[in-house]
């Protein structure tokens, strides 16, 4: 089995996976409640919480997974990108275990974790990875589409400013919803109607026709419209719900637009097309987005693979699974270090 450790942001997570990607245990100690009063993640609090929860979670993972240390033959740990103090807790913890047990470490890029997460199943072994797939990573820190061939990812676009999850969070905070804002906007929008006349959000286009994302314009526009229409938790509940539904729809519309642009560019290239489009990251938990992108897949005759909701937000099962994809990266604990940014 492989032990996975994730501490890059505000969830401490430990998982045990079998070599076929079957998840024995995936434990998550969420710190959301600790950061909520501040409306965002406070790095110092995150590090302290990881320190408190990591080893108790490791012990529980072994007992819940009915496993012994002798069953574990490697440790996958998130080495970056993320909050440096938070990453250090996981990496130093993994190094200690690795020295103590005499087993190697596999340092994992957090984004690789998200890329492979849609293939984890609720039950049984992981799904087979296609030789080529597109990966759409949409989270609090990232919005990018990757071309993944034989496990190796090439970035096709990125956001030029804010990430999509960050946009959900900032606008939600402005109108008085709690952190993290994505699920709160989703909850509100279920009672709302899309009203583009009242809340006009364009899909931004670049002069150079680049498929990059840009969310700062929608963020600024949302804040302006919210002010103009008095949108907030203390205002008219129906207006709040309609605003949330229209704002959410605008964020999704841009994703679908850029995915379509990239898809037609790939078609023009004339090579064998990606076999699947896999969506990952916290925002992939959004039900409206899941529906829209599934429809997009049906219209473009390609399978859309969505992660189980438990594997959308940060978790150690996806880190362990990414570790399984690269046995050649198993290394000595001395050679592993935490990095807040990874080029």
Q: Strand 132-138 to strand 143-149: parallel, antiparallel, or no bridges (unpaired)? A: antiparallel
The sign of the CA dihedral 31, 37, 79, 155 is positive
Tokens in use for 32?
């959301």
Q: Determine the interface stretch with ligand KG4 among 24-32, 68-76, 213-221, 283-291 (rule: CB under 6 A).
A: 283-291
d(CA 206, CA 220): 17
Site for ligand KG4, residues 157 to 216, rule: CB under 6 A: 165-166, 168-169, 180-183, 186
The overall longest dimension of the chain from CA atoms, in Å, is 63
286 forms part of the interface with ligand KG4 (CB under 6 A): yes
Q: Closest approach of Cβ 245 to Zn ion, in Å?
A: 26
Question: Which positions from 115 through 144 interact with ligand KG4, judged by CB under 6 A?
Answer: 139-141
Q: Residue 16: which of 245, 320, 238, 227 has the closest Cα?
A: 320
CB neighbours (10 Å) of residue 59?
A: 10
Query: At closest approach, how far in Å is the CB of 137 from Zn ion?
Result: 8
Return the beta strands (E) in 23-101 as ranges. Answer: 23-30, 74-80
Question: Is residue 307 involved in binding ligand KG4 (CB under 6 A)?
Answer: no
Residue 118 partner contact from Zn ion, ligand KG4, none using kind-dependent CB cut-offs of 5 to 8 Å: none
The reply on whether position 29 binds ligand KG4 by CB under 6 A is: no
Between residues 98 and 139, which has the closer beta carbon with respect to Zn ion?
A: 139
Regarding 285 and contact with ligand KG4 (CB under 6 A), the answer is yes
Q: How many CB atoms lie within 10 A of CB 10?
A: 27
Which among Zn ion, ligand KG4, none contacts residue 47 (Cβ within 5 to 8 A by kind)? Answer: none
Q: Which does 212 bind (CB under 5 to 8 A by kind): Zn ion, ligand KG4, none?
A: none
| Residue 46 backbone phi and psi in degrees, to 5 | -60, -50
Q: Which stretch binds ligand KG4 (CB under 6 A): 29-37, 121-129, 194-202, 277-285?
A: 277-285
State how far the Cα of 242 lies from the Cα of 186, in Å rounded to an integer.
11
SS3 category, 16:
strand
Q: Which is nearer to Zn ion, 12 or 139 (CB)?
A: 139
Binding residues for ligand KG4, rule: CB under 6 A, are 9, 139-141, 165-166, 168-169, 180-183, 186, 281-283, 285-286, 313-314
């Amino acid at each position: 089995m492989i032990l996975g450790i994730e501490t890059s942001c505000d969830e401490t997570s430990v998982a045990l996976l079998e070599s076929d990607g079957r998840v024995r245990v995936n434990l998550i100690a969420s710190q959301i409640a600790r950061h909520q009063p501040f409306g965002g993640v406070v790095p110092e609090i995150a590090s302290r919480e990881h320190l408190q929860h990591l080893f108790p979670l490791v012990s529980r993972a072994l007992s819940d997974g009915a496993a012994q240390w002798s069953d574990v033959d490697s440790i996958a740990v998130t080495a970056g990108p993320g909050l440096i103090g938070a990453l250090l807790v996981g990496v130093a913890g993994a190094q200690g275990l690795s020295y103590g047990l005499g087993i190697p470490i596999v340092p994992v890029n957090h984004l690789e974790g998200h890329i492979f997460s849609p293939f984890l199943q609720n039950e049984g072994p992981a799904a087979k990875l296609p030789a080529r797939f597109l990966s759409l990573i949409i989270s609090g820190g990232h919005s990018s589409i990757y071309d993944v061939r034989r496990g190796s990812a090439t970035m096709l676009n990125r956001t030029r400013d804010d990430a999509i999850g960050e946009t959900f969070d900032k606008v939600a905070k402005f109108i008085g919803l709690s952190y993290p804002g994505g699920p709160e906007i989703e909850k509100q929008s279920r009672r709302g109607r899309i009203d583009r006349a009242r809340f006009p959000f364009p899909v931004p286009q670049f002069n150079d026709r680049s498929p990059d994302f840009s969310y700062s314009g929608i963020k600024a526009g949302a804040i302006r419209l919210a002010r103009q229409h008095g949108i907030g938790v203390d205002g008219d509940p129906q207006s709040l719900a309609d605003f949330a539904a229209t704002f959410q729809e605008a964020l999704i519309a841009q994703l679908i637009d850029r995915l379509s642009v990239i898809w037609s560019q790939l078609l023009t290239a004339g090579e064998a097309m990606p076999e699947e489009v896999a969506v990952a990251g916290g925002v992939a938990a959004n039900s409206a987005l899941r529906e829209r992108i599934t429809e997009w897949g049906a219209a473009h005759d390609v399978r859309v693979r969505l992660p189980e909701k438990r594997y959308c937000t940060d978790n150690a099962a996806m880190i362990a699974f990414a570790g399984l994809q690269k046995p050649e990266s198993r290394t000595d604990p001395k050679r592993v270090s935490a990095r807040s940014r990874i080029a």
